[in-house]
Amino acid sequence: MTDLTNLGVKAIRDGVAGGDFTAREVAEAFNAAVAQAAELNAFIVTTPEHALAAADATDAKRAAGEDLGAMGGVPIGMKDLFASHGVQTTAASDILGGFKPEYESTVSQNLWNAGAGMLGKLNLDQFAMGSSNETSAFGNVASPWRKTGSNAAMSPGGSSGGSSAAVASRIAPAATGTDTGGSIRQPAAFTGICGIKPTYGRCSRWGVVAFASSLDQAGPMARSVEDCSIMLGAMAGFDAKDATSLKMDVPDWEAALSADLKGKKVGIPKEYRMEGTDQEILDSWEQGKAWLKDAGAEVVDVSLPHTKYALPAYYIIAPAEASSNLARYDGVRYGLRDLPDGAGLQDMYAETRAAGFGDEVKRRILIGTYVLSAGFYDAYYNQAQKVRALVSRDFENAFAECDLILAPTTPTASFPLGSLNDDPLTMYLNDVFAVPASLAGLPAMSVPASLNADGLPLGLQLVGRPFDEQSVLNAGLAIQQRAGFDHAPKKWW
């Protein structure tokens, strides 16, 4: 039999529906791979029994001639930021140690309703804060990729680094991610897979541990554009439980996929040619332009003049919202409670938060409370909100001249774990190309383009108009077909 773990979402769904193999066989193959690749530390908790139960349900439906759903028979990894009913959900933080939600997030429930099963809860940067997967309380995640000729462990990107490592290493055909300022796209680019952050509001945030609520969006990570369009279709949809949920029908993105870009204009933002960007990234961008032209698109220059202010504005707005969102972890309601003998309520708050939050989370809370404090609110928070409006307006103006924007996903390829730990500012720069689309709430995708001279993957980013995921996916497909990226990392099991 073919190695089932090499298959993606579409191949599994169609193979199960067509009777080529059973959903149970698929779940067993991936459960075994997950167990054997434990060295990557991609999962915090594994749930083989969930994957098997969903598979058996799918096989039973097939035997009864019932519809199997868009994800029927596909076992996936779930970023440990989505609440899972009865399964430990931690956001990779000690402060949520042992927390088992009494409810299921809307996005994960949508996936189970569509026939998917859960292999386990994926590791991530603590509270989704980070770009390297080194801030998790459960240890670093290692990318399955290595530089040619080296055995140093590389970063899978962050914060969805468990997701990217699992999908790239083929221990999961797909995984959920969340993207607040790049956390789907940057890890996808680092590991040679696809990932799309849809328009803000497409996927419900209900039951997703909040980082920065005006930016947080869930999305799929998988090895092909087709697989992302199928899975996004299953995840998205209006949800009355999220006040910012989009009240719009979910298009059939899979059915409308087309790599023919005739009549489309692709904008190249000149401000993305930044100092510090590797030459190989610029070369890959040029290659991307050529591929899109070959697919029939017209390539035009556009300007996004406030680009350089987007990252500083993000690192005010996101920590500000985080400091407010994370106030709920106080030792009373969830997880950890540190109550020294004879301590009062304030002591308990302080002890619990000191013990439960990691250093990067504390740094964000401190920045956030500072920029929201009475003396600095106008100078920082209000100013950042104004910049956010200008960044959004830049995109509106650009989209008067083009339908899509093509840019690199990251300024460099992956780096060795540990190499940026003492340098948070360089770490933050990882998201310099990803953050503008997040501030503007736009759909944006990373697609693998090539390997660099060290044998590491590079990604290209496509950004679309609000609600126009279809054009993003279509251009992604055009790149996928031309890039022919079929490189796989070292096998870990």
Q: Annotated active-site positions, please?
A: 79, 159, 183
Q: Does 410 bind ligand GLN (CB under 6 A)?
A: no
CB of 165 vs ligand GLN, minimal distance in Å: 16
Q: Which stretch, 20-28, 165-173, 176-184, 330-338, contacts ligand GLN (CB under 6 A)?
A: 176-184
31 or 163: CB nearest ligand GLN: 163
318 or 449: CB nearest ligand GLN: 318
Per CB under 6 A, the list member of 180, 245, 446, 450 interacting with ligand GLN is 180
CB of 199 vs ligand GLN, minimal distance in Å: 16
Q: How is 206-268 classified by DSSP, letter by letter?
A: TTBPPS-TTT-EEEEEESSHHHHHHHHHHH----TTSTT---SPPP-TTTT-----TT-EEEE
Fill in the amino acid letter for 158.
G
CA distance 163 to 393: 32
158 or 207: CB nearest ligand GLN: 158
Where helices occur in 295-374 by DSSP H, the ranges are: 307-325, 345-356, 359-372
CB of 406 vs ligand GLN, minimal distance in Å: 21
Question: In angstroms, what CA-CA distances link 330 with 105, 336, 337?
Answer: 22, 9, 8
Q: In what order do the strands lie in the sheet with 43-46?
A: 43-46, 117-122, 75-79, 174-179, 217-222, 194-197, 444-451, 457-464, 404-408, 265-269, 298-302
Q: Does 182 bind ligand GLN (CB under 6 A)?
A: yes
CB of 415 vs ligand GLN, minimal distance in Å: 14
Can you give the length of the chain in residues?
A: 493
CA distance 160 to 23: 26
181 or 335: CB nearest ligand GLN: 181
CA distance 418 to 411: 18
Q: Does 179 bind ligand GLN (CB under 6 A)?
A: yes
CB of 89 vs ligand GLN, minimal distance in Å: 16
CA distance 204 to 213: 11
194 — phi, psi (to 5°)?
-100, 150
Q: Does 318 bind ligand GLN (CB under 6 A)?
A: yes
Q: How many CA atoms lie within 13 A of 126 on its CB side?
A: 23
Kind and range of the H or E element at 397?
helix 383-398
CB of 180 vs ligand GLN, minimal distance in Å: 4
CA distance 227 to 232: 8
Interface mask (CB under 6 A) for ligand GLN, residues 281-310, using x and -? ------------------------------
Q: Which among 127, 158, 119 is positioned nearest to 141, based on CA atoms? A: 158
Q: Does 431 bind ligand GLN (CB under 6 A)?
A: yes
Q: Does 446 bind ligand GLN (CB under 6 A)?
A: no
**Which 183-242 positions form the footprint of ligand GLN (CB under 6 A)?**
183, 211
CB of 364 vs ligand GLN, minimal distance in Å: 8
Degrees, nearest 5: CA angle 211-216-219: 130
5 or 135: CB nearest ligand GLN: 135
59 or 179: CB nearest ligand GLN: 179
Q: Among all residues, whose Cβ is closest to ligand GLN?
A: 183
216 or 403: CB nearest ligand GLN: 216
CA distance 203 to 109: 12
Q: Does 159 bind ligand GLN (CB under 6 A)?
A: yes
**Which 85-144 positions form the footprint of ligand GLN (CB under 6 A)?**
128-131
Q: Which stretch, 38-46, 174-182, 280-288, 365-373, contacts ligand GLN (CB under 6 A)?
A: 174-182
Pairing of strands 404-408, 298-302: unpaired
Binding site for ligand GLN (CB under 6 A): 128-131, 158-159, 179-183, 211, 318, 431
